[in-house]
Amino acid sequence: MKTESCTHDIKIERLTTHHAAELLAFEISNRKFFEQLITPRPAQFYSLSGVQEHIDSLLEDFKSGMALPALLIQHNAIVGRVNLKNIDPVTGIGEVGYRIAQLQQGKGLASLGVDYLSRTAISEFGLNQLTALVLRNNPASSRVLEKSGFVFASPSTHVEVIQNEEISCDQWVKYLR
């Protein structure tokens, strides 16, 4: 298991099948908070078998070079997730995503994770560019991206439905080279 030590007593660990129970606890304890900001996961996700299936899918994407799922760990507890996904080796573009526990908001953990993904995108995947979709109801996420060197690219045609409300997204980009 690859681990990177960081500030704030945070370790960044690559997701493994051994994280299933801890990941389920993280997702359940932050479910209501996350569902205010992003599309809710299906109900069957919130079980040990549902999380194990989710992890298996992410690890398959990792094995094929299409993703890098990682966790932010503090005092042996998951406090956040960061993912590099939709990696296209032909265009050299990948997409970042992250979710940080409600009680850990505003402590720089999302920036820490996005910076880790930026470094890893270059060193392990040889990417030239990262993208991110941000819901317009989440200005804090836009600030994280700005601090990490992303710039607003354009309004996106992508729309998410959260709590029965359609929310538009914006596309952000970071040029790595």
Domain ranges of the chain: 3-130
pLDDT, position 159: 86
pLDDT, position 177: 84
In this structure, what are the phi and psi dihedrals at residue 132, rounded to the nearest 5 degrees?
-150, 140
pTM score: 0.90
Cβ–Cβ under 8 Å, residues 3 and 12: yes
Tell me if residue 32 falls in helix, strand or coil.
helix
Q: Residue 170 forms beta bridges with which residues?
A: 134, 155
Domain 3-130 is in which class? Answer: alpha beta
User: Strands, E, within 29-75: which ranges?
Assistant: 68-74
> At which residue do the structure tokens 């690890």 appear?
59
Over its length of 177 residues, how does the chain's per-residue pLDDT go in tens digits? 565 545 569 999 999 999 999 999 999 999 999 998 888 899 999 999 999 999 999 999 999 999 999 999 999 999 999 999 999 999 999 999 999 999 999 999 999 999 999 999 999 999 999 999 998 888 999 999 999 999 999 988 888 888 888 889 999 999 998
Could you give the strand order of the β-sheet that contains 129-135, starting from the edge strand earlier in sequence? 3-5, 10-14, 68-74, 77-88, 93-100, 129-135, 165-175, 151-162
pLDDT, position 3: 59
Q: What is the CB neighbour count within 10 angstroms for residue 11?
A: 15
Closest CA to 22 of 84, 97, 101, 83: 101
Quote helix, strand, coil % in the chain, to nearest 5.
40, 35, 25
Closest CA to 6 of 125, 129, 114: 114
User: Diameter of the chain by CA atoms?
Assistant: 41
pLDDT, position 39: 82
